[in-house]
Structure 1
Amino acid sequence: MRAFFAVDLPTDLADRIAEVQGELRAAEGLRFTDPEQAHITLEFLGDVPDGSERGGGGESDLDAVIEAGREAVQEADVEPFIASVRGLGAFPSTEYIRVVWAGIGDGSAELTRLQAGIESRTTALGYEPDDHEFTPHVTLARMDDARGKGIVQEAIRTAEADVGSFTVEAVRLKRSTLTESGPVYETVESFPLSS
């Protein structure tokens, strides 16, 4: 299964995510994410064999990944915290746009600490670390071609894009299932923060 560690945004911010995406709707070449599934990815793992894919028997890679996530969150010793979602940006740059995102203000340090612990543990299991510095963000859209690049660049420069704040209380291991209408995410395991 395709899997990643993430912090989910509460569904009550979905309407605000949709409003921010609305400021980009005129840009051709964008594929928008589902506001109801908005999240902050901490670590993308890719394919994680879950035991059933090998006929079972013994500890699966999934069991090891769950244990790594549990230990990383405990060791990070991060208490529940407020994260604010605001501002727009693009990866890899505003000149060559592949992903349009909303940034994280408050809570960046805590998210970075959680991500570093998870990456360290999953790398020890043989999963590839990210090839770029971690930038906490919420993906709003992916750019398939550059037709709407100017509109996106202008929005990044001028849009308020203040989505709101929420309390982060847990990290989740998510399963990503690709469908014709886009990816569907399900929680496999949840790791509560220290309290």
Structure 2
Amino acid sequence: MPRLFVSVDLPDRLADAFEAVQEPLRDVESLRFTDPEQAHCTLKFLGDADEARVGDVTEALEAAVASAGRSPTESRTESGGAGVGPVELEVGGLGVFPSTDYVSVVWVGVREGHGAAELARLAETVERETVSLGFDEADHEFTPHFTLARMDDARGKRRVLEYLNEDPTVGRFEVDEIRLTESTLTSDGPEYETRARVPL
């Protein structure tokens, strides 16, 4: 049974810049770092789903893209627009989840005014369309981010919190598609396979 999520993937050309943002924390033993070539922004985690539902999810994502340029009260036929188009993102700035008191994830964000609002609107329509298929509602507010590392314990927490005062930039890129991605957990970490691409 595929384990699925919806993502915007960081382009390969920014992998070195992403790794450079991770580098100052490399000697923090409690951190497990994201492979820069697998870095992505999750719009919606779907979880385990029957293989037969992949087609339905893809159609829901197409509907989400088509409706992302409209308000939630507008029907799909009320607006003649083509929905959201390609979005220019600037990836930069740092944060942690769930809080600075207890750190489990260290991330680099999407800068306000540089695609964050557009990405949030797209995530909102993806949420609405996938929940209508029976998938669980998100239990937290969407924050556009790319995970730098996961923290297993409190060792090095002070180093992480000090690093939050920095303001590194990974770079800019144009998002022209969202992906339905399958995640397979292995002893070497997750392996990702793109199951569908939906253009913006």
TM-score of the aligned structures, taking structure 2 as reference length: 0.89
Partner of 1:61: 53
What is the match of residue 20 of structure 2?
A: 19
1:192 aligned onto 2:192: no
3-state SS in 2 of match to 1:7: strand
Q: Which runs of 5+ in 2 are unaligned?
A: 69-82
Q: Does 1:153 align with 2:161?
A: yes
Q: Which amino acid aligns with 1:86?
A: G
CA contact (8 A) 1:111 1:136 kept: yes
Distance in 1 (alpha carbons) for counterparts of 2:95 and 2:133: 32
Aligned mates of 1:10, 1:175 — CA distance in 2: 18
Residue 128 of structure 2 corresponds to residue 120 of structure 1: yes
Offset of residue 177 of structure 1: 1.0
For 1:161 and 1:94, the matched residues in 2 are separated by 19
Of all paired residues, the percent bearing the same amino acid is 54
Alignment length, in residue pairs?
Answer: 183
Q: Letter of the 1:28 partner, please give it.
A: E
**RMSD of aligned C-alpha atoms?**
0.9
Answering whether residue 79 of structure 2 is matched by residue 87 of structure 1, we say no
Is the Cα contact below 8 Å between 1:26 and 1:151 reproduced in 2?
no
* Structure 1 runs (4+) greater than 6 angstroms displaced: none
Match of 1:43 in 2: 44
Q: Is the 8 A contact 2:95 2:164 kept in 1?
A: yes
C-alpha distance in structure 2 between counterparts of 1:30 and 1:93, whole Å: 16
Give the corresponding residue for 1:72. Answer: 64
Q: Contact between 2:97 and 2:103, CA under 8 Å: does it hold in 1?
A: yes
Matching residue of 1:2: 3
Matched-pair contact (CA < 8 Å) for 2:58–2:198:
no
- Separation of aligned partners in 2, 1:133 and 1:27: 28
> Using the alignment, how far apart are the partners of 1:22 and 1:95 within structure 2?
23
| C-alpha distance in 1 between matches for 2:50 and 2:154 | 36
Shift of the alpha carbon at 1:5? 0.5
Unaligned ranges ≥5, structure 1 = 51-59
Output the amino acid matched with 2:30. Answer: G
Q: Which amino acid aligns with 2:120?
A: T
